[in-house]
Structure 1
Amino acid sequence: MKRKYYKTGELSKIYKLGRDSIKYYEKLGLLNPKRDTNSYRMYTIKDICNLNLIRELRSLDFSMPRIKEYLQNRNIESTKNMLTEEIELIKKKVNELNAHKESLRKRLSSIDNCIEHTTFNRIELLYMNKRKALTVDSNVTFDENVDYLIQRLSEKFEDKFYLLGNSNFGAVFDSNSISNNIFNNYKYTFCLLEEDAPNYNFILDEGYYVTYTYKGDYKKSAKILDMLYKFLEINKYTILGDPIEIYKIDVYETSIEDEYVTQVQIPVKLLSDSSI
C-alpha cells in the first residue's frame, strides 16, 4: 500500500535538506503540509513532487519567485516554457564549463612550459608582443606582495576568470618608490588575458624587455631590480616604463615557497641591435 504522508524528518533525510529549508519552502507556499493529531507536519505526494521540482530548478539557479510562479501555474504550456528555459540554462552552463576546462588545460600547459623551458637566474633581453590584461589600481605597500591585490582583482572581475587555471597574474611597480628604495609599492595588479580577448582595460606594450626569472621568496625582487638597473645603466638602455613582476607560478599553484617562479621585466629602448 502506497504511503500518503511523510514527516518533516523523513523529507529532511531523503533530500539532505535542513528542516529550516523545508519550513522556508512551506512559508513561500511551495509546500502545503497537513497536520496530524499531534500537530506534526505531514507532507503529501504533491509536496514530494514540488520538492523534486524545486531541487532541480534551484540546481539551475532559477530564482525562488520564478519557481513559485511555475509551481502555482503549472500546465502543459508553462512546463514546455520551463523546459525551454532549462535547456538554455544548461547550454550556458556547458559553455561556461568548457571555457573553464580550456582555461585549466592552458594553465597546465603553461606550468609545464615554465618548469621545462625557463632560464633561471640570468639577465635576458626578450621581445614581447602586446599583452592584454584586466587590472585594478593598487597604490599600496603590501609586504606579502600581490596576494591581497589579486583578491581585489578577483572580486572586481569574478565573472572574467578563474583563479586556478588562470593566465599569469602580475603587478606594476611604482618607479618613484623604487628610487627611494621602496620595492613593495605597486601601481597596479593585473591578470594577463588571451591575445584575442575582447574585454580588457590594460595593455602591456609591445617591445623589448630586460628580464630576470627566479625561484623562491618574492622579496628577492629588491636585489634583482637593483641588479637590473645597474645592468641597464652599463649598457645604456633607455627605460620606457615601470618594472613589472609576472607570477608564473605562485601561492595558488604551490604552498612551497621555493617552487614560486617570478619574472621581473623592465621595458627598454635599444640604442642599436644589441644582444645579451
Structure 2
Amino acid sequence: MKRKYYKTGELSKIYKLGRDSIKYYEKLGLLNPVRDTNSYRMYTIKDICNLNLIRELRSLDFSMQRIKEYLQNRNVKSTKNMLKEEIELIEKKVDELNCHKKSLEKRLASIDGCIEHTTFNRIELLYMNKRKALTGDSNVRFDENVDYLIQKLSEKFEDKFYVLGNSNFGAVFNSDSISNNIFNIYKNTFYLLDDNATNYNFILDEGYYVTYTYKGDYKQYLQIFDMLYKFIEVNQYTILGDPIEIYKIDVYETSIEDEYVTQVQIPVKLLSDLSI
C-alpha cells in the first residue's frame, strides 16, 4: 500500500533540506501539510511532487516567485511554457560554461607560454600593438603589493574576467613617484582585453617598449628601473609615458614568491635613423 503522508524529518533527509527551508516553502504556499493527531506536519504526495519541481527549477535559478506562479497554475500549457524556459536557461548555461572553458584553456596556455618562452633578466626592445583594457581606480596607492588593487579591479568588472591564471592584469606607475624611489603609487590598474573587444575604457598605445621580465617579489623595483632608465639613456631613446607592469604569474597562481613573473614595460621613441 502506498504511503499517503511524510513527516518533516523524512523530507529533510530525502531532499537534504533544512527544516527551515521546508517551513519557508510552506510559508510561500508551495507546500500544504496537514496535521496529525499530535499536531505534527504531514506532507502529501502533492507536496513531494512540488518539492521535486522546486528543486529542479531552483537549480536553473528560477525565482521563487516564478516557481510559485507555475505551481499555482499548473496545466499542460503552462508546463510546456516552463519547459521552453528551462531549455533556454540550459542553453544559456551551456554557452556560459563553454565560454568559461575557453577562458580556462586560454589562461592555461598563457601560463605554459610564460614559463616556456619568456626571456628572463634581459632588457628587450619590443614593438607592441595597441592594447585595449578596462581600468578601475586612478591615482591609487597601496603599501604592501598590487594584489589588493587587482582584487578591486576584478570586483568592479566581475562579469568581464576571471582572476585565476590570468596574465592580463597590470598597473601604470607614476613616473614622478618613481623618480623619488616610490614604487607603490599607480596611476591606474588595468585588465587587458582581446583585440576585438568593443567594451573598453583604456588604451595602451602602439609602439616600442623597453621591457624587462623577472621572477620573484616586487621589491626589485629600484634596481630594475635604474637599469632600464640607464639603458634608455645610453641608447638615446625618448620616454613617451609612464612605465607599466604586467603580472604574468603572481599570488593568484602560486604562493611561492620565487615563481612570480612580472614584466616592466616603458614606452619609448627611437632615434629616427635606428633600424631594428
TM category, shorter: over 0.9
Take 1:56 and 1:48, find their aligned partners in 2: how far apart are those partners?
13
Secondary structure in 2 matching 1:87: helix
Counterpart in 2 of 1:205? 205
Gaps of 5+ in 1: none
| Alpha-carbon contact 2:4-2:45 (below 8 Å) kept | yes
Alignment of 1:174-193 (within 5 A): 174-193=174-193
- What do the CA deviations read for 1:60-94 (whole angstroms, capped 9, x no partner)? 11111111111111111111111111111111111
Q: What letter matches 1:82 in structure 2? A: M
Within-5 A mapping of 1:205-244: 205-244=205-244
- Structure 2 distance, partners of 1:149, 1:43, is 52
Q: Which residue of 1 aligns with 2:118?
A: 118
| Count of paired positions | 276
TM-score, normalised with respect to structure 1 = 0.96
Identity over the aligned pairs, expressed in percent? Answer: 88
Give the direction of change, closer, same or farther, for the CA distance of 1:84–1:157 in structure 2 (3 Å limit). same
1:95 maps to a residue whose letter is D
Match of 1:210, SS? strand
Q: For residues 275 and 102 of structure 1, what CA distance do their matches in structure 2 show? A: 39
Bigger Cα displacement from structure 2, 102-111 vs 32-41: 32-41
Contact kept, 8 Å, 1:221 with 1:264, in 2: the verdict is: no
- Which residue is 2:262 aligned to? 262
Matched, 1:83 2:83: yes
The DSSP-based 3-state class of the residue aligned with 1:200 is coil
State the alpha-carbon separation in 2 of the partners of residues 167 and 203 from structure 1: 17
Residue 12 of structure 1: aligned partner:
12
CA distance in 2, matches of 1:161, 1:260: 20
What corresponds to 2:73 in structure 1? 73
AA aligned opposite 1:125: L
2: CA distance, partners of 1:181 / 1:187: 16
Following the alignment from structure 1 to structure 2, what is the Cα–Cα distance between the partners of residues 110 and 24?
Answer: 47
Contact 2:165 2:249 in 1 (8 A): no
- 8 Å CA contact 2:240–2:268 kept in 1: the answer is yes
Q: 2:49: which partner in 1?
A: 49
Displacement after TM superposition at 1:234 (Å): 2.0
SS of equivalent to 1:82: helix
Letter of the aligned partner of 1:113 in structure 2?
G
Q: Kindly state the Cα deviation for residue 150 of structure 1 after the two structures are TM-superposed.
A: 1.4
Residues 111 and 167, structure 2, Cα contact 8 Å, conserved in 1: no
Alpha-carbon distance in structure 2 between the residues aligned to 1:114 and 1:120? 10
Tell me the equivalent position of 1:106.
106
Whether the 8 Å CA contact 2:122–2:212 is kept in 1: the answer is: yes
Alpha-carbon distance in structure 1 between the residues aligned to 2:4 and 2:167: 56
CA distance in 2, matches of 1:198, 1:165: 23
Counterpart secondary structure, 1:53: helix
Q: Distance in 2 between matches of 1:132 and 1:74?
A: 50
- Deviating 4+ runs (over 6 angstroms): none
Shift in Å at residue 34 of structure 1? 1.0
